[in-house]
């Protein structure tokens, strides 16, 4: 394997789990996060803590970023650029703005550094087991170089072509998930008001044409009342904002997008940026003077599938 020394920048809810899967597969891992507390478990498992972005770049051939916003990605790359060389490959695994990704990629290429975007999708619980999906885009040779790492961190890996495609597709999927979340809240509230047991309602939707990934996962946490999806309100607002930006770019009269953005921004102001994205359903509960609780659901999602070796999807 060509690249054994890997840098990982950004050890949040998802990043720490992706980094751990690299350790499990024998990569030498150099890690960095502004919050030193996030590094403790990974250090115990053998990762090497760095004090700066420059130290990460100087010790690795591939470095990965998994950060909360386009601004934070920009800050990291700005700090990294002076230390980049032609030996480096940067893999960006956040959900970010496609225009920013292209701009930063050009800056890296001026230093001889190659880039690949590889956002993940499928939930924090699947990131932990490595059974999460990866959408990757950039030059095919960069994808091929990165595939051993992507196969350690993810399961179903889709090559999407040109840089920008994966970022856009990830924003699209997050918009659809967010829309589905709001629709499920209203659907469950109708069932509650009608008098249908919410356990029955959950399973009825699950076996119906109305079923979805969001229902099978996030509905359980709403019904439990923990709302603990591991994804926060500031992140969902960023993502629906990026989708809305794309609809404006292409002059698409996207009425649903505007409404979704408005509702989540109201949730951000009401419940706080670090509240779980699923907390948006509390807005409906409060207006209806009802709650959607049921004792038969878990307070946290666990992926019960065994860790599987990742592979590239061919179609």
Could you read off the pLDDT of 92-106 as tens digits, one per residue? 999 999 999 999 999
Q: Are both 185 and 272 inside the same structural domain? A: yes
- Residue 107 domain-assigned? yes
For tokens 């209203």, name the residue. Answer: 186
Q: Are both 154 and 237 inside the same structural domain? A: no
Query: Where does the pLDDT of residue 25 fall: very low under 50, low under 70, confident under 90, or very high at 90 and above?
Result: very high
Mean pLDDT of 140-157: 98
Helix axes 165-194, 233-249, angle to 10 degrees: 120
CB 153, CB 132: distance < 8 Å: yes
Please give the pLDDT value at position 241: 98
Give the Cα separation of 53 and 262 in Å (integer): 36
Query: Where does the pLDDT of residue 20 fall: very low under 50, low under 70, confident under 90, or very high at 90 and above?
Result: very high
Last residue of a domain, one of 145, 163, 181: 163
Could you read off the pLDDT of 175-226 as tens digits, one per residue? 999 999 999 999 999 999 999 999 999 999 999 999 999 999 999 999 999 9
Tokens found for residue 276: 């779980």
Give the Cα separation of 89 and 159 in Å (integer): 17
Candidates 77, 109, 121, 81; CA nearest to 235 is: 121
Do the bridges between strand 156-159 and strand 133-138 make them parallel or antiparallel, or are there none, so unpaired? parallel
Beta bridge partners of 65: 9, 92
CA angle 218, 220, 225 (to 5 degrees): 95
Q: Are both 117 and 145 inside the same structural domain? A: yes
Candidates 8, 150, 142; CA nearest to 65 is: 8
Q: Which residues contact 137 (CB under 8 A, 6 or more apart)?
A: 116, 117, 118, 143, 159, 160, 161, 162, 163, 164, 165, 166, 167
Structural domains of the chain, count: 2
Strands (E), 149-248: 156-159
Q: Are both 134 and 181 inside the same structural domain? A: no
Q: Are both 137 and 183 inside the same structural domain? A: no
Tell me the HSE value of 213 on the side-chain side, using a 13 A CA sphere: 14
Query: Where does the pLDDT of residue 38 fall: very low under 50, low under 70, confident under 90, or very high at 90 and above?
Result: confident
Mean pLDDT of 267-287: 98
Please give the pLDDT value at position 109: 96
Q: Are both 137 and 176 inside the same structural domain? A: no
Other beta carbons within 10 angstroms of residue 180's beta carbon come to: 18
The rounded percent of the chain whose pLDDT value lies above 70 is 100
Other beta carbons within 10 angstroms of residue 38's beta carbon come to: 17
pLDDT at residue 1 greater than cutoff 80: no
Please give the pLDDT value at position 195: 98
Q: Are both 152 and 181 inside the same structural domain? A: no
Question: What CATH number does the domain containing 249 carry?
Answer: 1.10.1040.10
The rounded percent of the chain whose pLDDT value lies above 90 is 97
Q: Are both 154 and 202 inside the same structural domain? A: no
Q: Are both 39 and 141 inside the same structural domain? A: yes
Please give the pLDDT value at position 2: 82
Other beta carbons within 10 angstroms of residue 122's beta carbon come to: 18
Range of the domain at 200: 169-288
- Residue 312 domain-assigned? no
């Amino acid at each position: 394997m060509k690249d054994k020394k890997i840098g990982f920048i950004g050890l949040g809810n998802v990043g720490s789990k992706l980094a751990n899967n690299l350790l499990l597969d024998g990569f030498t891992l150099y890690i960095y996060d502004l919050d030193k507390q996030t590094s403790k478990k990974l250090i115990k498992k053998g990762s090497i803590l760095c004090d700066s972005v420059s130290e990460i770049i100087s010790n690795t051939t591939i470095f990965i970023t998994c950060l909360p916003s386009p601004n934070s990605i920009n800050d990291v790359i700005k700090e990294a650029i002076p230390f980049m060389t032609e030996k480096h490959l940067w893999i960006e695994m956040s959900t970010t703005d496609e225009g920013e990704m292209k701009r930063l990629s050009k800056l890296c290429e001026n230093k001889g550094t190659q880039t690949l975007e590889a956002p993940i999708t499928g939930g924090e619980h699947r990131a932990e087991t490595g059974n999460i999906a990866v959408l990757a885009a950039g030059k095919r040779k960069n994808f091929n170089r990165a595939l051993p790492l992507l196969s350690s961190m993810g399961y179903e890996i889709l090559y999407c072509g040109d840089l920008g495609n994966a970022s856009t597709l990830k924003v699209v999927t997050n918009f659809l998930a967010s829309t589905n979340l709001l629709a499920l809240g209203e659907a469950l509230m109708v069932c509650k008001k009608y008098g249908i047991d919410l356990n029955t309602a959950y399973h009825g939707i699950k076996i119906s044409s109305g079923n979805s990934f969001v229902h099978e996962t996030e509905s359980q946490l709403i019904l439990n009342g923990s709302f603990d999806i591991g994804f926060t309100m500031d992140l969902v607002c960023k993502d629906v904002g990026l989708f809305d930006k794309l609809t404006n770019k292409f002059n698409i009269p996207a009425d649903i997008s505007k409404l979704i953005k408005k509702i989540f921004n109201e949730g951000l102001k009401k419940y706080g940026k670090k509240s779980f994205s699923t907390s948006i359903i509390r807005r409906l509960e409060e207006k209806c003077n009802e709650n959607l609780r049921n004792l038969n659901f878990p307070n946290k999602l666990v992926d019960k599938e065994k860790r599987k070796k990742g592979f590239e999807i061919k179609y």
